[in-house]
Amino acid sequence: MPADTQSVEATLDAVAGHLRQAQRVLFITGAGISADSGLPTYRGVGGLYAGEPTTDGLCIEEALSGEVFAIRPDITWKYLIQIEESCRGALPNAAHRAIAWLEQHLDRVMVFTQNVDGLHRAAGSGEIIEIHGNLQELACTACSHQEAVADMSGREIPPLCPACGAVLRPKVVLFGEALPEDELDRFIDAFQEGFDIVFSIGTSSVFPYIVQPVVLAAASGIPTVEINPARTQLSDIVDFYIPLGAAEAMTGIVRRLGIGGFGY
């Protein structure tokens, strides 16, 4: 067995050992956890363009901003639909399922996700904070109408409110908009109550609100784990860095717990 493979296996063993002793677990997840579901990895909701300008001459962060949506919702919706189409038909993978499965066996499993794809919910996780919102819920920009949608296929773009005719928007945080305070407060309350182990999975860790909980946990002596094929600024901070894809890593960890019932 190559030395690097031995090192990864030993790390998986160690993480499983800590998880076996834990009852309260926090999973912070980004786009990388959905890669094995066939979704592209991207920073926030905009990195599908990887820095390239859009066909409208705007950088993707501008096109997907609250400022542009307010004056040209057709432009923002054009790129929201491209993101929604990339998520359409995707199913939870083994990493999503492993996290949901752990929730059945531990006192508390919280998912704090940047993803808007809804795959944690689809996998069955119950305590989820979708800090950037999701693409499956629409709200009218002028009245109180709201609706849930499986996908946007066959819909007029931009979609209009059936009650008043104004433009609908998905319940996502666009660039330049504030994060939802109620969800942040819920996360802060849970973090202050304490976790026994903290995982960062598939996130490039560029946003302070993604990085800081891991840094604080590590500084407090709470075991911390990063699962990501690419190193990030957290890789040298966490106790355990696992250079694997999310599905492979989580399957390997859960298999080591010796608890039956997880279908991998």
Helix extents (H) in 134-244 = 181-193, 208-219
Active site annotation includes 132: yes
* Dihedral sign (CA 34, 36, 39, 45): positive
Which listed residue (18, 96, 120, 132) is catalytic? 132
Contact residues for 85 (Cβ-Cβ < 8 A; gap 6+): 152
Tokens 């699962």 belong to 227
| Residue/partner pairs of 240-243 with CB below 8 Å, 24 or more apart | 240/11, 240/14, 240/15, 241/11, 242/8, 242/11, 242/12, 242/15, 243/8
| Helices 94-103, 246-256: crossing angle, 10 deg rounding | 40
Distances (CA, A) of 40 to 24, 82, 88, 189: 30, 11, 12, 32
- DSSP bridge partners of 241: 226
DSSP 40: P
- CA-to-CA distance for 200 and 188, rounded, in angstroms? 16
Residues acting as catalytic residues: 132
